[in-house]
């Protein structure tokens, strides 16, 4: 019964924000991967593993080489958790890699947004994912 309720809550949270899995300047991670647009170019984000509270998670980005990431952070959507920095390093040819650590909370299903600020873009990209206890 609890699993169904958690699933139902998760589905409702996604439905209420009208977030789709692609392609725009926002996306929802599916199988630890998320495709989105920067301008008219496709970018891809990928988690090293499914994010879990209080464990270090690596995220990589493949973005068009003519774009530069200014900053990135994660915020809770359904519960305030502050701004969690994503510590990024630039690699060759549009590759970026970084890590973050989520705090734990009392919500059984926690919805998060990763905000990616690109230097040449007016609006940030929002990448959504969920953690479950």
> Tens of pLDDT along 50-98?
999 999 999 999 999 889 999 999 999 999 999 999 999 999 999 999 9
Residue with the bigger pLDDT between 98 and 106: it is 98
What secondary structure letter does DSSP report for 46?
Answer: E
**Which pLDDT belongs to residue 23?**
61
For the segment 13-35, the average pLDDT, to the nearest whole number, is: 69
What is the DSSP track for 72-102? EEEEESSS---EEE-EEEE-STTEEEEEEEP
Mean pLDDT of 33-51: 94
The whole model's pTM is what? Answer: 0.80
pLDDT at site 95: 97
Strand ranges inside 4-124, DSSP E: 26-28, 33-38, 41-47, 56-62, 69-76, 83-85, 87-90, 95-101, 109-118
**pLDDT above 90 for 120:** no
């Amino acid at each position: 019964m609890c699993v169904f309720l958690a699933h139902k809550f998760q589905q409702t949270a996604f439905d209420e924000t009208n977030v789709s899995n692609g392609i725009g300047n926002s996306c929802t991670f599916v199988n630890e991967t998320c495709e989105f647009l920067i301008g008219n170019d496709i970018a891809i984000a990928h988690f090293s593993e499914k994010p879990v509270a209080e464990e270090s998670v690596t995220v990589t980005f493949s973005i068009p080489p003519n774009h530069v990431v200014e900053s990135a952070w994660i915020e809770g959507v359904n519960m305030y958790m502050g701004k969690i920095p994503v510590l990024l390093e630039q690699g060759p040819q549009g590759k970026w890699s970084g890590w973050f650590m989520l705090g734990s909370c009392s919500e059984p299903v926690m919805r998060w947004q990763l905000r990616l600020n690109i230097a040449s873009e007016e609006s940030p990209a929002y990448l959504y994912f969920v953690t479950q206890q």
